């Protein structure tokens, strides 16, 4: 900074402000390549339009073909279903780089990949996999996931949606609320009570009695489609029931996949906010010095860098555990809780460093802060994840 003393030791190699621990060196060459290509996509295709999309309340669906062509839909599923067969760390890096653009873009990919393609892959018949997965990987069929209901999402065991057997078919009735991609989707994975536990069904757009209504007036995730789903005696053939799972562990198993990705995504949002505040603070001159030269602002920036570094290490270790096949749901809960909280706090602090300029979508922090208000609620609220950890360490269920 001209006119201001720099580091004490000018010969020391400068660290990368967004990767103080050189965590990138822990990635394989393939993982780095994937991160770089998604980062380029975010820089070139997402960032130039996303502020306007957020202002207009519009999901940029024109990006879907390129997202699909890059192999980002169902990226961890096997190549025999038209997917990229990447490891868990690569999926995490994809989420991180997409959410550096906007949580809405990462949400779209999370839902398609972890909440729709994953259950078809993990719980579906071979016929269902072959019918849906390749087309979903190509982005030609879009999915959504209906678990939450209007009376309370934290306790899905208490769902009211029912599926009754009627000859060779099922009749499904109920309502689902806050469903990402709802009005975009060609199919919905709908979870319903049956006489034999909770089961999953592939409900297709156009089936009689099935409607999606978009949620308006959102102040968060404005560049994402959120809907209510209504099912009034929708006739669904037995061929659309996911045959290989029964009980709440079905939907919760999908959530573990999606929550894993969500531990990474908000790191991207946090990096975007921190970088924005860092750059702004070096330019903004008050009381005859850049605000970056004040101790108060440096404390905030240093704390952001610390928290981002810890979140990165947490997700990377989680990813390595997942790739080794030993990741536990409670470990995912801890990282989802920590990393979303870190990102939300960083977004709010970055917004503050930008002063009045921080309240417009010309700069990313307010958009990320508003988005992260959803991210901290969906896929299990912060409280739910805290109680999962509480249950894990005490052995007592406090829900
Ligand atoms: P509980 O008795 O704990 O478990 C019932 C069965 O499920 C198994 N299980 C899990 N399996 C896989 N992954 C997990 N995370 C699991 N957690 C539990 C468990 O072993 C048991 O299996 P079994 O064989 O013994 O029957 O169930 P509970 O009723 O006590 O509930 C626990 C609680 C509160 C943690 C759970 O209900 C919960 O996670 N609630 C939050 C619901 C939630 O997260 N909803 C998210 C909806 S989808 C969404 O938000 C998408 S946003 C996407 C986007 O836009 O990016
Ligand atoms: P509630 O469950 O009613 O919770 C209200 C409050 O009570 C929260 O603060 C909660 O932490 C607290 N609480 C709950 N239990 C306890 C307890 N035992 N002790 C103390 N406090 C407690 N769902 C889907 O199925 N599919 C989707 O695609 C999807 N996308 C979403 C997109 C957006 C933008 C949003 C906002 C939500 C989405 N959801 C989706 C729903 C989301 O998962 C739920 O909002 C979430 O699970 C919480 O449910 P709820 O909103 O009904 O809140």
195-253 residue pLDDT tens: 999 999 999 999 999 999 999 999 999 999 999 999 999 999 999 999 999 999 999 99
What backbone torsions phi and psi does residue 252 show, to the nearest 5 degrees? -65, -30
3-state helix, strand, coil in the chain (%, to 5): 55, 15, 30
Confidence of residue 14 (pLDDT cuts 50, 70, 90): confident
Is there an atom of ligand 2 within 6 Å of 109 CB?
no
Helix or strand or coil: residue 193? Answer: strand
Question: pLDDT value at position 3?
Answer: 58
Tell me the average pLDDT of the chain.
Answer: 97
Ligand of minimum distance to the alpha carbon of 150: 2
% of the chain with per-residue pLDDT over 90: 96
Q: pLDDT at residue 7 above 80?
A: no
What domains are there in the chain, each with its CATH number? Answer: 23-137 (1.10.540.10), 143-240 (2.40.110.10), 249-394 (1.20.140.10)
Q: How far is the CA of 22 from the centre of ligand 2 (A)?
A: 36
Is there an atom of ligand 1 within 6 Å of 154 CB?
yes
Q: pLDDT at residue 191 above 70?
A: yes
Ligand 2 atom having least distance to the Cα of 150:
52
Ligand 1 atom having least distance to the Cα of 107:
56
Question: 211 catalytic, yes or no?
Answer: no
Question: pLDDT value at position 11?
Answer: 63
Q: How far is the CA of 380 from the centre of ligand 1 (A)?
A: 8
Instruction: For residue 254, give every residue at least 6 positions away whose Cβ sits within 8 Å of its Cβ, in sequence order, or none.
Output: 114, 115, 118, 119, 122, 145, 189
Q: pLDDT at residue 75 above 70?
A: yes
Identify any residues that bridge with 227 across adjacent strands, giving them in sequence order: 179, 214
């Amino acid at each position: 900074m001209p006119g201001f003393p720099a580091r004490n030791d000018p010969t020391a190699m400068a660290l990368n402000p967004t990767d103080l621990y050189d965590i990138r060196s822990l990635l394989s060459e393939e993982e780095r390549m994937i991160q770089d290509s998604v980062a380029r996509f975010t820089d070139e295709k997402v960032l130039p339009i996303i502020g306007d999309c957020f202002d207009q309340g519009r999901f940029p669906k024109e990006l879907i073909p390129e997202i699909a062509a890059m192999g980002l839909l169902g990226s961890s599923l096997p190549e025999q279903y038209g997917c990229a067969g990447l490891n868990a760390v690569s999926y995490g890096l994809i989420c991180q780089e997409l959410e550096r653009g906007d949580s809405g873009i990462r949400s779209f990919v999370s839902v398609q990949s972890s909440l729709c393609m994953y259950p078809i892959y993990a719980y579906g018949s071979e016929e269902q996999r072959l019918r849906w997965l390749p087309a979903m990987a190509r982005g030609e069929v879009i999915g959504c996931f209906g678990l939450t209901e209007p009376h309370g999402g934290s306790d899905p065991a208490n769902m009211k949606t029912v599926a009754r057997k009627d000859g060779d078919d099922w009749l499904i009735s109920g309502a689902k609320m806050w469903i990402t991609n709802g009005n975009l989707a060609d199919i919905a994975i709908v979870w319903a009570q049956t006489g034999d536990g909770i089961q999953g069904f592939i409900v297709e757009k156009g089936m009689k009695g099935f409607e999606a209504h978009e949620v308006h007036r959102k102040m968060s995730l404005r560049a994402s489609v959120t809907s209510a789903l209504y099912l009034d005696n929708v006739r669904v053939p037995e061929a659309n029931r996911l045959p290989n799972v029964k009980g709440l562990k079905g939907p919760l198993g999908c959530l573990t996949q999606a929550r894993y990705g969500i531990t990474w995504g908000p790191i991207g949002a946090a990096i975007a906010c921190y970088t924005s505040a860092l750059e702004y603070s070096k330019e903004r001159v008050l009381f005859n010095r850049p605000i970056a030269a004040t101790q108060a602002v440096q404390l905030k920036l240093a704390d952001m860098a610390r928290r981002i570094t810890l979140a990165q290490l947490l997700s990377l270790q989680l990813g390595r555990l997942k790739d080794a096949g030993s990741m536990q749901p409670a470990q995912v809960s801890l990282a989802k809780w920590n990393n979303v909280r870190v990102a939300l706090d960083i977004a709010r602090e970055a917004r503050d460093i930008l002063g009045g300029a921080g309240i417009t979508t010309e700069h990313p922090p307010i958009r990320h802060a508003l988005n992260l208000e959803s991210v901290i609620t969906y896929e299990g609220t912060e409280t739910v994840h805290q109680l999962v950890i509480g249950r894990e360490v005490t052995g007592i269920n406090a829900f």
